[in-house]
Structure 1
């Protein structure tokens, strides 16, 4: 499999030909009549200590990819190697023991915390399940975790409704950090927060990454956020990867027409600088019956006949930049 990062780094996660097709039932007998092809033959690598971001429109398969990696949804096919071990080949008990290394921060801090549990109970439950810290040392460990995410020790016995949205997300981060993970999947982790709070949480994630040598898979639709936190960026469209590149290459020289359209929508703070907006025609096709050939061809302003029949392969533009487009040499 092609890699697009510093070859001296060690691969932590390797996803190969991942597919997530959800069955559609119909008829009196409830037979499968079709599938929603949410993720369709996706491959990528994440290296130790980096942040790989996945971006794209709603419904492109970003969050489904993260859930499939964690086996929150069982993938249809493919392989997910974590430190050389295939997660999809593991039994439920084997996977349970791996979960301490693979954690997730969810999008909605209001829904991801149990309103009936205090902070001590929420974080203590995580420590107890994996038996990481002896029972008589858990409270001390929870206070330590709160300090890492910018919360006070006297907040340990409070309940989620007593916190702001940003503080709740810090509790979610502390819960993920409690497992001493190697990889954290951030699923739209700041999209539900105010802009000023987003910046604080992003800076917190970056400082924790440096302190604990964490690796992030960061899922977002906000390109401004992605530009701030990423080392590399992967662009998805309708269940397919269309471009992977290091952050500088992608933002300075996007190659795929879809990526170019996404970047053209980023607001420019300097009104004296005019930026041409690329308006995509039509709607995103249904993932139940995606277009033949390149899935973007129905909306692409540059599409040719070949795009309608032949699926473009993900090929190297240079060592740190790959694109799936017939029009890119």
Structure 2
């Protein structure tokens, strides 16, 4: 049996942002945006990170690319420790690591034509000789479903979906191994979302790409993912293959998220899990299980002891969740408080 190659390994990644205060501007506290995240990504797969706004999913993606310098942890990509590389080495490594941002208009220089946008990436990474760049740009445009005759247009002359295709072409231009899709379709209309998702899947098959897909849209995540990571307040609360997480969720937070997905069949209803209270501040997150302030199953143990990611006997291999009472909740022995 052929084992997949581990392309990305993230271990105990932390991203704390300092809060300055006082006359001297000293650091008085930290926003713990990502607090000890560990996972891996294998070649050719799509791993999605999901969670509410502010859970740390986008910050995780930026920290992996060192767009924000991580506070601590390890990020090993294709055998190289990214956090040990200097700026020149990291720039070379970014050829294999690309990102597609949420807002294609904000992430593209409005003063440059598509030709200039794509040519800049090709020049920085020296992907093809200068004499061949125009041909490469035209090829990229056709690959993402745009016409070569559009290469001298400016971003404002394109629709939102077309601009996102330009962003995809820019990421694809340097022949990357891993692309981080940071809410890549959330700003698009639903019909355009489907087109872009299908394009991403087609490109993955054609160019053997690996995706780290960051999204809050669970419907899109279910369509595109191989594995799913659920984050809450800077930590992973559940991880597993797509079928396990969607059909057999174990963490109460995951169950609440999945219960909010609309049912496409008219007249069919499902039980909705309503969470009480607001998401706590990442400046002073709760002790123990960070979800205990909103969890209907929480006990005193949850307020003091941090649960580790683990699996029960009935769970599929590779499916892990961080909850003290998974088995009891599954068997019905542990009842919700409300």
TM-score bracket for this pair, using the shorter chain length: over 0.9
Pairing 1:125-274 to 2, within 5 Å after superposition: 125-274=120-269
Give the drift of 1:83: 1.1
Structure 2 residue corresponding to 1:321, chosen from 292, 297, 319? 319
Give the drift of 1:318: 3.4
After superposing on structure 2, the runs of 4+ consecutive aligned residues of structure 1 that deviate more than 4 Å are none
Give the aligned partner of residue 45 of structure 1.
Answer: 40
CA RMSD in angstroms comes to 1.0
Give the aligned partner of residue 85 of structure 1.
Answer: 80
Pairing 1:33-72 to 2, within 5 Å after superposition: 33-72=28-67
Give the drift of 1:305: 1.2
> Does 1:287 pair with 2:287?
no
SS at match of 1:315: coil
SS at match of 1:318: coil
SS at match of 1:15: strand
Give the aligned partner of residue 3 of structure 1.
Answer: none
Pairing 1:17-36 to 2, within 5 Å after superposition: 17-36=12-31
Aligned residues: 324
Structure 2 residue corresponding to 1:100, chosen from 95, 101, 115? 95
TM-score of the two chains, using structure 1 as the length reference? 0.97
Q: Which of structures 1 and 2 has the larger relative contact order (alpha carbons within 8 angstroms, sep 6+)?
A: 1
TM-score of the two chains, using structure 2 as the length reference? 0.95
Q: Which runs of 5+ in 2 are unaligned?
A: 328-338
Q: Which runs of 5+ in 1 are unaligned?
A: 1-5
Give the drift of 1:274: 1.4
Give the drift of 1:320: 2.2
Alpha-carbon contact 2:244-2:316 (below 8 Å) kept: no
Give the drift of 1:319: 1.4
Question: Separation in 2 of the partners of 1:186 and 1:99?
Answer: 15
Give the drift of 1:315: 1.1
Give the aligned partner of residue 302 of structure 2.
Answer: 307
Give the drift of 1:64: 0.2
Question: Separation in 2 of the partners of 1:162 and 1:319?
Answer: 49
> Does 1:275 pair with 2:270?
yes
SS at match of 1:38: strand
Question: Separation in 2 of the partners of 1:134 and 1:107?
Answer: 31
Question: Separation in 2 of the partners of 1:272 and 1:191?
Answer: 27
Give the drift of 1:272: 2.6
SS at match of 1:167: helix
Question: Separation in 1 of the partners of 2:99 and 2:286?
Answer: 32
Question: Separation in 2 of the partners of 1:98 and 1:84?
Answer: 11
